[in-house]
Amino acid sequence: MKNKVQLITYADRLAGDIPGLAALLGGSLSEAIGGVHVLPFFDPIDGADAGFDPSDHTAVDARLGTWADVRALGEQVEVMADLIVNHVSDASPQFQDFLRRGDASPHAGMFLTFGSVFPDGATEQELLRIYRPRPGLPLTAVTLDNGDKRLLWTTFTPRQVDIDVNHPQGQAYLRAILERFHASGVRAIRLDAAGYAIKKAGTSCFMIPETFDFIETLSQEARSLGMEVLVEIHSYYQTQIEIAAKVDRVYDFALPPLVLHALFQADAAPLARWLAMSPRNAVTVLDTHDGIGVIDVGADAVTGRPGLLAPEAIDALVETIHVNSAGQSRQATGAAASNLDLYQVNCTYYDALARDDEAYLVARAIQFFAPGVPQVYYVGLLGGVNDMALLERTHVGRDINRHHYDADEVRKCLEAPPVRRLLALAAWRNAHPAFAGEFRLLPAQPGHLSMVWTQGDSQARLDVDLAARIAVIAQEGGPAGSPARWVVAGPDAAR
């Protein structure tokens, strides 16, 4: 993955389809964006979970284009795609054949059942030990056409049937997807929901030692095909550090809430502590297609070890988001709006910051200087606000931050001064050689944050005053024409 700002987006919700996305990346965004993670573009994109429940993971939804279009996009920028390792849609041909034919189906072994994990049954304590990010047990009863009943493992929803990744049929299914990606020029994959892929009796069934073995084996197979692997895990911060040592790349999911805390409280200390030890092989984010996570800065649910933020600080963080968004995030979070993700607040990052342009640009400057490769969500790139109309139509909490843009909206957003400033910052970050060098966190006064990148004679330094919401860059050896001192955000910022 190039050390340049990456875009994460749905093809249809930003540009209509994959060729449209290629045109946008080759035009207005060519200097600001160095690679793109195209969120599920498989058939279909509008199932029960916005594409994360494909019926055919090896087919492009015809409404978005073809594999030839994916290859053409990959010839322009590096493309990342999702490998949804944990589950498949109950509408998939494989599962439908299993429903019709039962154990006679050639796909019968592909689906994980209660009995395959607990052949001798399970105690109450064993069931309660299972970790799931949603209420209830991850099990759904189904009746086959012949009348037989099965208790299937369904970690996320009853429409998403878990794959037995240890069974030859499950392994063949995943291998076919990797080969399809390779043939179509995909350069990186994200292992979606990989932490839940291995289930073992007597464990939490989440990020157990066997999970690491599975991730490593699958990653080796992907690397043999020339693809880098990003692992998506929401977990306790020390666990995330341990995971990072064993994989190509991880997300820095602790960064979004820590940056918000820093700006809300004018308190840089928790963020600075994290930046001093955060994984250097991270993909940094502020916003994603999911919500703003808080589990990543909380205490360890198993051992009770303290988190990066105290419980009262997390409560204040969440409440401030609700206040800043005029209560809109409250309507899309927790038990509201059919939202089942207990550890996330659903809100655009711009609304979480009360639509304050300077605070938003301070946050992006911190992200772009944090260790790792920065990734920007399409709604955040365009300074998007909460889509309450979409939330009202779908009653799905995460849709508040999944707006469908038309071409005219995109054009207007790209002309907005805050977005132009963000794109200029991204283009500068992509072109400055210092970001290929060494990162240091510098001593700073309370309420301030200072970071510097150095490579040879090139240097880029960021100084932030959190209370005043001012961010200043000082640089040497930067892109031609860039100033030695640049006020990125604050009263004196260039607009």
pLDDT, tens digit, 9 for 90 and up, residues 223-246: 999 999 999 988 889 988 988 988
Which CATH number is correct for 93-162, 3.40.1390.30, 3.90.400.10, 3.60.20.40, 3.40.630.10?
3.90.400.10
The pLDDT-based confidence of 102 (bands split at 50, 70, 90) is very high
At 416, list the tokens: 């907005």
- Return the bridge partners of 8, or none: 37, 377
Contact by Cβ (8 Å): 278, 259 = no
Sign of CA dihedral 126, 208, 285, 229: negative
Across 99-103, average pLDDT: 96
Which of 180, 164, 151 shows the shortest CA–CA distance to 107? 164
Strand 438-442 and strand 373-377: pairing?
unpaired
Across 114-140, average pLDDT: 92
Length of the chain equals 495
pLDDT, tens digit, 9 for 90 and up, residues 474-488: 999 989 888 999 999
What mean pLDDT value characterizes the chain? 94
Task: Give pLDDT, residue 217.
Answer: 94
Element (H, E) at 359: helix 357-369
The pLDDT-based confidence of 48 (bands split at 50, 70, 90) is confident
The catalytic residue positions are 192, 232
In angstroms, rounded to a whole number, what is the distance separating the alpha carbons of residues 23 and 73? 9
**6-85+167-436 CATH fold:** TIM Barrel (3.20.20)
At 452, list the tokens: 């510097």
Task: Give pLDDT, residue 336.
Answer: 55
For residue 252, count other CB atoms closer than 10 A to its CB.
29
Across 440-462, average pLDDT: 97
The Cβ-side half-sphere exposure at 14, using a 13 Å CA radius, reads 30
In angstroms, rounded to a whole number, what is the distance separating the alpha carbons of residues 32 and 428? 8
- Backbone angles phi and psi of 178, in degrees to 5: -55, -45
At 67, list the tokens: 């594999």
- Return the bridge partners of 453, or none: 439, 460
Contact by Cβ (8 Å): 382, 413 = yes
Which of 227, 184, 188 shows the shortest CA–CA distance to 66? 184
- Backbone angles phi and psi of 267, in degrees to 5: -125, 105
- Return the bridge partners of 318, or none: none
Across 89-106, average pLDDT: 96
In angstroms, rounded to a whole number, what is the distance separating the alpha carbons of residues 388 and 456? 49
In angstroms, rounded to a whole number, what is the distance separating the alpha carbons of residues 316 and 164? 41
In angstroms, rounded to a whole number, what is the distance separating the alpha carbons of residues 244 and 249? 6
**pLDDT: which is higher, 131 or 262:** 262
At 293, list the tokens: 């996570």
In angstroms, rounded to a whole number, what is the distance separating the alpha carbons of residues 489 and 470? 5
pLDDT at residue 124 is higher than 60: yes
The Cβ-side half-sphere exposure at 199, using a 13 Å CA radius, reads 29
In angstroms, rounded to a whole number, what is the distance separating the alpha carbons of residues 480 and 101? 66
Scan for tokens 């301030």, then name that residue. Answer: 448
pLDDT at residue 342 is higher than 70: no
In angstroms, rounded to a whole number, what is the distance separating the alpha carbons of residues 324 and 334? 17
Sequence ranges of the domains in the chain? 6-85+167-436, 93-162, 438-489
Scan for tokens 């995943």, then name that residue. Answer: 174
Across 106-111, average pLDDT: 95
Task: Give pLDDT, residue 338.
Answer: 42
Contact by Cβ (8 Å): 296, 253 = yes
pLDDT, tens digit, 9 for 90 and up, residues 269-314: 999 999 999 999 999 999 999 889 888 999 987 788 999 999 999 9
Contact by Cβ (8 Å): 194, 215 = yes
> Interior CA angle at 185 toward 181 and 190, to 5°?
50
pLDDT at residue 337 is higher than 70: no
Across 314-325, average pLDDT: 94
For residue 239, count other CB atoms closer than 10 A to its CB.
18
Across 79-105, average pLDDT: 96
pLDDT, tens digit, 9 for 90 and up, residues 346-362: 999 999 999 999 999 99
pLDDT, tens digit, 9 for 90 and up, residues 357-415: 999 999 999 999 999 999 999 999 999 999 999 999 999 899 999 999 999 999 999 99
pLDDT at residue 433 is higher than 60: yes
In angstroms, rounded to a whole number, what is the distance separating the alpha carbons of residues 323 and 358? 18
